[in-house]
Amino acid sequence: MTAKAPIIVIKKKISHGGHHGGAWKVAYADFVTAMMALFIVLWLLSSSKQVQEAVGGYFRDPTGNSRKVGSDMQGAGESFSVSKENMAQLKEELQKTMRQVPNFDKLQNHIEMTITSEGLRIELMESATSTFFDSGKPDPNKDGQDILLALSKELGTLPNKIAVEGHTDSKPYPGNRNYSNWELSVDRANAARRLMQQNGIREDQIMQVRGFADQHLRKADAPLDPSNRRVSLIVEYLNKKPDDDEPSADRNKEGTKPAPAEAPKGPVEKK
């Protein structure tokens, strides 16, 4: 009887390499984190200055115990409170905004921003051929509307109070004896105020509307100079101290009349 041949089973062992652990997971997580940080930085660089201030304010003060940066105003995004320390920053932001206004190249020589003891003073000055208001008219023209609209969108995000002033030159208002430079200066200030409140400025943000006629000339030695005709916006410091009301050398430039400690108010619009 023949013996059965033995059954030989051949097993092939496939090697997968040594155990490599989870190091690749750590590297991948670091890569994803770096990409997320890159996207956040790119988003911040393309965001407005107010958003950057708000994000920076959070990291400087996560608990919110110090001065809060940011605002919950509708449509305003985040904003900051303008103090003496960052008024120059607001000035730069407003200048950037106005550069986007049509015909700005033609208008820029008639816009002046000055940091004074009151706050940031924005002057919209007329020319001999009219710039922001047609001659003798109380309502702003197209260029005046464009500038005021651009300013409204930026200033409306601030908690700071705003004063609006109207000024004329010394040329008497022609024709109507019942309408003079006093009425014209106040009407222009109120027209600017109405337009701005309809396009970004809050109702409670306007603190004063002042009409000075020709009593605060920019050029006292040239009372008929067109630049004496102007509308001024004053963004006042937040929590202004009483001693801040003293006249500023910045405001009273050479060739202008010294302003009294408390400027007399002109007639106001009757409701």
- The model's confidence at residue 101, banded by pLDDT at 50, 70 and 90, is confident
Higher pLDDT, 219 or 51: 219
- Beta bridge partners of residue 165, listed in sequence order: 210, 232
Q: Are 150 and 97 in contact (CB under 8 A)?
A: yes
Residue 256 confidence (pLDDT) above 70: no
pLDDT tens, residue by residue, 80-96: 566 777 888 888 888 88
Q: What is the mean pLDDT of residues 104-125?
A: 91
The correct answer on CATH 3.30.1330.60 for the domain covering 82-245 is: yes
Structure tokens belonging to residue 99? 């550069």
Residue 99 is predicted with a pLDDT of: 87
Beta-sheet pairing, 119-125 with 230-236: antiparallel
Instruction: Give the residue extent of every domain in the chain.
Output: 25-80, 82-245
> Any idea of the CA torsion for 217, 130, 118, 240, to the nearest 10 degrees?
140
Burial class (CB within 10 angstroms; exposed 0-12, middle 13-18, buried 19+) of 154: buried
- Beta bridge partners of residue 2, listed in sequence order: none
Residue 152 confidence (pLDDT) above 80: yes
- The model's confidence at residue 24, banded by pLDDT at 50, 70 and 90, is confident
Residue 194 is predicted with a pLDDT of: 96
Residue 267 confidence (pLDDT) above 70: no
Candidates 43, 49, 110, 123; CA nearest to 80 is 49
